[in-house]
Amino acid sequence: MYTNLFDSHTHSENSPDGNHSVLYMCEHAADIGLSGIAITDHLECNDFIKDNYRARIQQSVFDIRRAQQLMGDKLLISCGIELGQALQDKDAALEILNTYDFDFILGSLHALEGKLDFYYWDYSDPSIIIHDSMVDYYQQQIDLAKWGHFDVMGHITYPIRYIWGKNRIPVDLNRYMDLIDELLRTLIEKGRGIEVNTSGLRQELGTTLPDFPLIKRYRELGGEIITIGSDAHYVEHIGNGVEYTMDMLREAGFKYFSFFKGRQPRMLELA
């Protein structure tokens, strides 16, 4: 039983695939006993204009500020954003990052340069070569890590959610260990963290993203900053898998996990 439960990755109705209001999410988080929540609505830089992200983020930040006022000290609320594909439209990314005073920036890669989000791929298409896509994925994540305008990299095994989780095409991550090590080392050198995304526990995948071996590897390489996020798009998924992940982090050798306020990691004891 843990008393300091934090969820650092959630989406409100201001994300194209979100469903509930920020205030409803915050009230629910407090009701189920969380100490803090980060609202991290999507900013998919490659679709910045098409999906109207300028207005979406403005509304998200407004809603979060309002919720902070209304919730008072009942819940710690981090004003976050999930910054997707920043290198595919750096101007859009920097415009939004310079406009708002975020507490937390989750840097993610959902789509390779010029391609659709892995979620939308037709995996029966014979022209898709999974191995090449995985290599591209890690190389583009390394580039994103080098750019570095974020706090924590989101779900570093994202394609696995769809390739193995949904489509049952096996992927051996050991083939990419050199690239994964380079990614983790780059993040550590730059003072950035990784997240453990618990969404896979309630989906076909059945594990966190990343799973235990990579979490352990990050620790072995000296990684300390690690957040836990449900990636909830519905209130009922908020907080999901957080305690399970805290146990896993302890087993991997961590003494602390992180929750961000004012772009600084609060190191919270795994106790």
Residues in contact with Zn ion by the rule CB under 5 A: 82, 108, 154, 231
Nearer to Zn ion, 47 or 82 (CB): 82
Q: Smallest gap, in angstroms, from Cβ of residue 234 to Zn ion?
A: 12
Q: Smallest gap, in angstroms, from Cβ of residue 84 to Zn ion?
A: 7
Please give the helix or strand (H or E) that residue 54 lies within, else none.
helix 53-71
Nearer to Zn ion, 40 or 186 (CB): 40
Q: Smallest gap, in angstroms, from Cβ of residue 183 to Zn ion?
A: 16
> What residues pair up with 232 in beta bridges, in sequence order?
10
> What residues pair up with 153 in beta bridges, in sequence order?
107, 194
Nearer to Zn ion, 237 or 256 (CB): 237
Nearer to Zn ion, 151 or 231 (CB): 231
Q: How many helices (H) and strands (E) does the chain have?
A: 9, 9
What are the φ and ψ backbone dihedral angles of 207, each rounded to 5 degrees? Answer: -135, 170
Nearer to Zn ion, 113 or 251 (CB): 113
| Closest alpha carbon to 229 in 3, 29, 44 | 29
Q: Smallest gap, in angstroms, from Cβ of residue 121 to Zn ion?
A: 15
Upper half-sphere CA count for residue 214 (Cβ side, 13 Å) = 26
> What's the distance, CA 78 to chain centroid?
14
Nearer to Zn ion, 154 or 241 (CB): 154
Q: Smallest gap, in angstroms, from Cβ of residue 232 to Zn ion?
A: 9
Can you tell me the distance from the alpha carbon of 183 to that of 176, in angstroms, rounded to the nearest whole number? 11
Please, what is the angle between helix 130-147 and helix 177-189, to 10°? 10
What are the φ and ψ backbone dihedral angles of 153, each rounded to 5 degrees? Answer: -85, 130
Nearer to Zn ion, 108 or 186 (CB): 108
Q: Smallest gap, in angstroms, from Cβ of residue 9 to Zn ion?
A: 6
| Closest alpha carbon to 40 in 100, 98, 95 | 100
Q: Which residues contact 171 (CB under 8 A, 6 or more apart)?
A: 130, 134, 159, 160, 163, 164
| Omega before 126 within 30 of 0, i.e. cis | no
Q: Smallest gap, in angstroms, from Cβ of residue 210 to Zn ion?
A: 13
- Cα angle 7, 212, 198 (rounded to 5 degrees) comes to 30
Q: Smallest gap, in angstroms, from Cβ of residue 167 to Zn ion?
A: 18
Nearer to Zn ion, 195 or 252 (CB): 195
